[in-house]
């Protein structure tokens, strides 16, 4: 059987787990050796282990398995379309042509993608010659600790490039996560920055959280895991977008 695919976030977690396991193994070996010779000094050994263990490198979304699988398909199959949905797993997992039957719509979401990953493939949106592009990106950036300023640098360049070729850009608010996720404070800050930027007429801001997360977090009734939506969540998303199609 083939190994399961890992998103960028999952790959980072695996690297961190492997580093921790290596440290634990080293400490255990030192303890056994120290007990054998009767001279075990744990603190210097443990400190040395943590000092020498390099932090797990940040995994670029361009190196993720999902990115390497999906991105070439977007180039190979590029039909002219009216609407493009672009983003990360929240976009990727939806069957947009089924959600909006009869509408010319293409999915350009990639599981685990970030704002910089989307910027790197923005030409795959423009080559479809759409009238409108609906964007949602940023949750994975926040998950790996990217600053709001870093996200906005990439996000605003995406918007600028789409707008420059005559595409109407709709920025959808980054959805809140589960109440205990620890992400919602920064999500709120990111959305405030996006809403303020869209006031310059380059884009239209759509606050999806009003419809999907009215409590200020993603409720269990609309999610499968505290981050991704179930069918009820996508129905609310569909209803919120209808006026803009």
Q: Token pair for residue 140?
A: 């994975």
Q: Token pair for residue 25?
A: 């193994």
Residues 118/87, Cβ–Cβ less than 8 Å:
yes
Residues 103/139, Cβ–Cβ less than 8 Å:
no
CA distance 40 to 28: 11
Q: Token pair for residue 240?
A: 């919120």
H-type alpha helices, the chain = 8-37, 42-52, 65-76, 89-92, 96-99, 115-120, 123-126, 139-143, 148-164, 184-198, 209-212, 231-241
CA distance 212 to 218: 7
- 95, 101, 103, 108 alpha-carbon torsion, rounded to 10°: 0
Predicted local confidence at residue 144, as pLDDT: 94
Predicted local confidence at residue 2, as pLDDT: 41
Residue indicated by tokens 């699988």? 69
3 state SS of 222: helix
Residues 142/9, Cβ–Cβ less than 8 Å:
no
Q: Output the furthest CA–CA distance in the chain (Å, rounded).
A: 77
CA distance 134 to 70: 19
Sheet with 83-87, edge to edge strand ranges: 105-109, 83-87, 132-136, 168-172, 204-206
3 state SS of 188: helix
Close Cβ partners of 11 (under 8 Å, ≥ 6 residues apart): 59, 64
Predicted local confidence at residue 178, as pLDDT: 97
Q: Token pair for residue 150?
A: 């870093």
Q: How many CB atoms are located within 10 Å of the residue 122 CB?
A: 20
Predicted local confidence at residue 40, as pLDDT: 41
Give the tens place of pLDDT for each residue, 17-58: 444 454 445 444 444 444 444 444 444 443 444 344 444 556
Predicted local confidence at residue 68, as pLDDT: 81
Predicted local confidence at residue 58, as pLDDT: 66
Q: Which residues of the chain have pLDDT under 70?
A: 1-59
Residues 114/8, Cβ–Cβ less than 8 Å:
yes
């Amino acid at each position: 059987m083939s190994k399961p695919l890992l998103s960028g976030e999952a790959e980072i977690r695996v690297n961190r787990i492997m580093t921790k396991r290596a440290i634990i193994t080293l400490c255990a070996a030192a303890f056994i050796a120290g007990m054998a010779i009767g001279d075990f000094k744990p603190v210097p050994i443990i400190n040395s282990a943590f000092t020498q263990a390099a932090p797990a490198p940040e995994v670029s979304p361009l190196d993720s398995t999902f990115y390497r699988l999906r991105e070439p398909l977007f180039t190979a199959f590029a039909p002219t379309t009216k609407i493009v949905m672009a983003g990360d797993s929240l976009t990727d997992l939806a069957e947009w042509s089924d959600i909006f039957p009869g509408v010319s719509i293409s999915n350009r979401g990639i599981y685990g993608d970030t704002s910089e990953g989307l910027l790197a493939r923005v030409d795959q949106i423009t080559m479809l010659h759409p009238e409108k592009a609906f964007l949602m990106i940023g949750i994975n950036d926040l998950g790996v600790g990217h600053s709001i300023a870093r996200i906005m640098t990439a996000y605003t360049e995406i918007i600028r490039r789409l707008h420059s070729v005559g595409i109407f850009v709709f920025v959808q608010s980054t959805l809140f996560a589960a109440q205990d996720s620890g992400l919602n404070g920064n999500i709120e800050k990111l959305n405030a920055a996006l809403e303020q930027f869209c006031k310059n007429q380059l884009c239209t801001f759509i606050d999806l959280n009003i419809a999907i997360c009215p409590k200020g977090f993603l409720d269990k009734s609309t999610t499968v895991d505290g981050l991704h939506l179930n069918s009820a969540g996508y129905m609310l998303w569909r209803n919120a977008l209808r006026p803009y199609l």
